[in-house]
């Protein structure tokens, strides 16, 4: 498995999933536009090797895992592994935690800057979209923080914008793990929260940071489990937080408990810039450490960005586990890539109003990131969106098949269909489309018979047709 | 890059139409649009702005974007009167713009008479 980001880039080069651009590209919109179009075209990851205003030893690597091929490579699988297999592989490895180990020396300490030497403009942080609030140093990142009460260490992938040479503003949502710990344990005591912003770690550390993972879970141990070996961590210069030793850049500092800064607006993973602006948290840098010739990692957020694979995948597995724990007869879950992590397809052994309500309650009780759920029966492959649309179109009753729940204080503030007022109050709703047959309908007398090859012909006829298929003249 | 005496170009974001008040000292967050590595660095300032830049001496250019990042047509003039702290007191996740106004009110900067465009 890949020890660092550079090994991963070499593997992507070998599999044909990395484009290296030697031509000079400007950090001000051009880099973002190239990276955005590459996402939308499902193109390769991009290594920008010459960036305007910056020396040639400061480069940027965009969209590390924005295609399923690159996720497969990161997992050490064949690049053309089916999505279903990648889901299964993550599910298998996720249950195996390997705690990290601490080392004394690390490549990320090759250059160390403190105090007046710190200049956050020294890295080619891109202006990713025209009209964003600023340049984002933290997109494909990993923010390390600690709960002072329990010592739980949280890793999360949160956006961070360059404010001036010494400050960043960030928007870990108030309901995020970092946001919750900060508000519960630091703000009331007026204590600054130590945070280390890690850029360019190995791919599975970022994957673990971005994963939908339970509160109290250590993403460092999850990363080790995904890699199959303990991750090496090294102590920060200005705090006792630990960061991946092999990463490219670490910005150490504190989130201030009694200050605010402008953050955003920003073109986010749902594929829109929603006007989420002005309510950020303010981070003051205390030290910056980095490798020689640091490579800044970038997620060109928007439609089909890195979240469309990794957040979707880990979200789906988390939903499956959660529903299972709550007694829902769940079989399989897919968070489809083009649904911007807002839609889930959930297959259950049986549906009906009670199961629908239970699912809505379970998935919106703490924070509600999904706004649409399609509930299907086992005859539908949740990964085949044609089958899902067919079930939705034919089986979901326009009145009785629609279940909704509304909530306040825990909605996804980035959901584009919410008004500015709803966003401010974190008000939202989730709808579940029940595409299952009502339980009270008789299978013999009432449930319509599905008219597909697999379901409406006797086995003997199906076998005959399949065995004679080419003999009839069909090629495939 | 602009020389010291040349007008500079700044940009601000507004939460709603009408937030940019003409002819009185108002707190603003502005970002530097002048080319170079520090382009887009942010500052908090007290400033006077006008849609008629020729009426303000020592004027810089101010461009305006909305809460969703859309650039409004035309540009304003801006004269920066005072620098405000970057570490602006406020409760995290609360409205930044309210915190900016509160700081100015707490320091009575909004009560000092402003001679028009002086």
Percent of chain A with pLDDT over 70: 100
Mean pLDDT score across all residues of chain A: 96
Phi, psi of B15 (to 5 degrees): -80, -35
User: Once rounded to an integer, what is the mean pLDDT over residues A31-56?
Assistant: 98
Confidence grade of residue A218 (pLDDT, cut at 50, 70, 90): very high
pLDDT value at residue B111: 60
What is this model's ipTM? 0.93
Kindly report, residue by residue over A181-212, the tens digit of the pLDDT.
999 999 999 999 999 999 999 999 999 999 98
* β-pairing verdict for B60-65 and B9-13: parallel
Bond preceding residue A265 cis, omega within 30 of 0? yes
Token pair of A314 as six digits: 């880990």
In a domain, B113, yes or no: no
Best of B92, B95, B97, B101 to disrupt the A interface (most A CBs within 10 Å) is B92
Residues in A closer than 8 angstroms to B67, CB to CB, are 265, 275, 277-278, 420
In the predicted model, is pLDDT for residue A346 greater than 90? yes
Question: By the 8 A CB rule, do B72 and B65 touch?
Answer: yes
Nearest to A257, CA basis, from A194, A195, A192: A192
Within 8 A by CB and 6+ apart from B75, the residues are B53, B61, B62, B63, B64
In a domain, B4, yes or no: no
Domains in chain A with CATH codes: 5-301 (2.30.110.10), 326-435 (3.40.1670.10)
pLDDT value at residue A175: 85
In a domain, B3, yes or no: no
Give the Cα separation of A172 and A157 in Å (integer): 8
Mean pLDDT score across all residues of chain B: 89
pLDDT value at residue B117: 47
* Full residue range of the structural domain in which residue B83 is found: 9-106
In a domain, B115, yes or no: no
Residues in B closer than 8 angstroms to A133, CB to CB, are 13, 69
How many domains, chain B? 1
Pairwise CB contact (< 8 Å): A163 & B90: no
In a domain, B2, yes or no: no
Token pair of A159 as six digits: 């956006």
pLDDT value at residue B7: 80
Kindly report, residue by residue over A68-125, the tens digit of the pLDDT.
999 999 999 999 999 999 999 999 999 999 999 999 999 999 999 999 999 999 999 9
Phi, psi of A297 (to 5 degrees): -95, 140
In a domain, B98, yes or no: yes
- Helix (H), strand (E) at residue A272: none
Residues in B closer than 8 angstroms to A255, CB to CB, are 92
Q: How many CB atoms lie within 10 A of CB A365?
A: 13
pLDDT value at residue A174: 86
State the count of interchain CB pairs (< 8 A) between A and B.
Answer: 107
Question: By the 8 A CB rule, do B97 and A278 touch?
Answer: yes
User: Once rounded to an integer, what is the mean pLDDT over residues A223-229?
Assistant: 97
In a domain, B112, yes or no: no
In a domain, B111, yes or no: no
């Amino acid at each position: 498995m890949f020890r660092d980001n550079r090994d991963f880039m070499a593997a992507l080069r070998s599999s044909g999933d990395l484009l290296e651009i030697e031509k000079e590209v400007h950090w001000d919109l051009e880099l973002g536009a190239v990276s955005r179009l590459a996402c939308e075209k499902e193109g390769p990851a991009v290594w920008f090797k010459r960036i305007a205003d910056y020396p040639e030893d400061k480069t940027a690597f965009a969209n590390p895992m924005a295609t399923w091929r690159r996720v497969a490579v990161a997992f050490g699988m064949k690049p053309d592994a089916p999505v279903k297999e990648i889901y299964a592989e993550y599910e298998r490895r996720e249950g195996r935690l390997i705690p990290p180990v601490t080392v004394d020396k690390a490549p990320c300490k090759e250059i160390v800057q403190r105090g007046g030497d710190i200049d956050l403009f020294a890295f080619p942080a891109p202006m990713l979209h025209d009209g964003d609030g600023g340049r984002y140093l933290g997109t494909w990142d990993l923010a390390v923080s600690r709960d002072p009460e329990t010592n739980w260490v949280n890793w999360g992938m949160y956006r961070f914008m360059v404010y001036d040479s010494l400050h960043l503003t960030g928007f870990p949502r108030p309901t995020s793990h970092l946001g919750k710990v900060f508000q519960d344990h630091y703000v009331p005591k007026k204590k600054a929260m130590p945070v280390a912003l890690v850029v360019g770690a190995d791919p599975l550390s970022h994957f673990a940071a971005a994963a939908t993972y339970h509160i109290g879970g250590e993403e460092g141990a999850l990363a080790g489990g995904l890699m199959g070996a303990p991750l090496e961590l090294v102590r920060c210069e200005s705090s006792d937080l630990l960061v991946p030793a092999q990463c490219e850049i670490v910005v150490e500092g504190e989130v201030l408990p009694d200050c605010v800064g402008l953050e955003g607006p920003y073109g986010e993973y749902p594929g829109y810039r929603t006007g989420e602006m002005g309510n950020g948290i303010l981070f003051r840098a205390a030290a910056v450490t980095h490798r020689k010739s640091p490579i800044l990692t970038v997620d060109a957020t928007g439609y089909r960005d890195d979240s469309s694979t990794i957040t979707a995948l880990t979200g789906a597995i988390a939903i499956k586990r959660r529903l299972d724990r709550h007694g829902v007869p769940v079989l399989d879950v897919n968070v489809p890539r083009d649904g911007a992590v807002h839609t889930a397809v959930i297959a259950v052994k049986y549906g009906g109003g009670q199961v629908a309500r239970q699912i809505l309650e379970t998935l919106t009780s703490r924070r509600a990131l999904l706004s649409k759920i399609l509930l299907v029966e086992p005859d539908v492959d949740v990964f085949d969106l044609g089958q899902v649309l067919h079930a939705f179109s034919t089986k979901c009753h326009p009145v009785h098949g629609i279940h909704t729940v509304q909530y306040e204080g825990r909605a996804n503030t980035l959901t584009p269909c919410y008004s500015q007022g709803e966003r401010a109050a974190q008000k939202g709703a989730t709808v579940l489309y029940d595409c299952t047959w009502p339980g009270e309908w008789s299978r013999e007398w009432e449930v319509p018979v599905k008219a597909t090859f697999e379901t409406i012909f006797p086995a003997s006829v199906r076998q005959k047709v399949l065995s004679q298929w080419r003999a009839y003249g069909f090629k495939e | 890059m602009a020389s010291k005496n040349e007008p500079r170009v700044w940009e601000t974001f507004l939460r709603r139409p009408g937030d940019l008040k003409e002819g009185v000292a108002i707190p603003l967050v502005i970002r530097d649009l002048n080319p170079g590595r520090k382009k887009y660095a942010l500052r908090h300032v007290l400033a006077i702005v006008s849609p008629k830049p020729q009426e303000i001496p020592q004027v810089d250019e101010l461009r305006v974007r909305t809460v969703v990042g859309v650039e409004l047509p035309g540009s304003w003039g801006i004269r920066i009167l005072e620098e405000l702290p970057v570490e602006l007191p406020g409760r995290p996740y609360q409205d930044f713009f309210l915190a900016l106004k509160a700081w100015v009110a707490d320091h009575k900067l909004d009560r000092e008479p402003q001679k028009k465009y002086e």
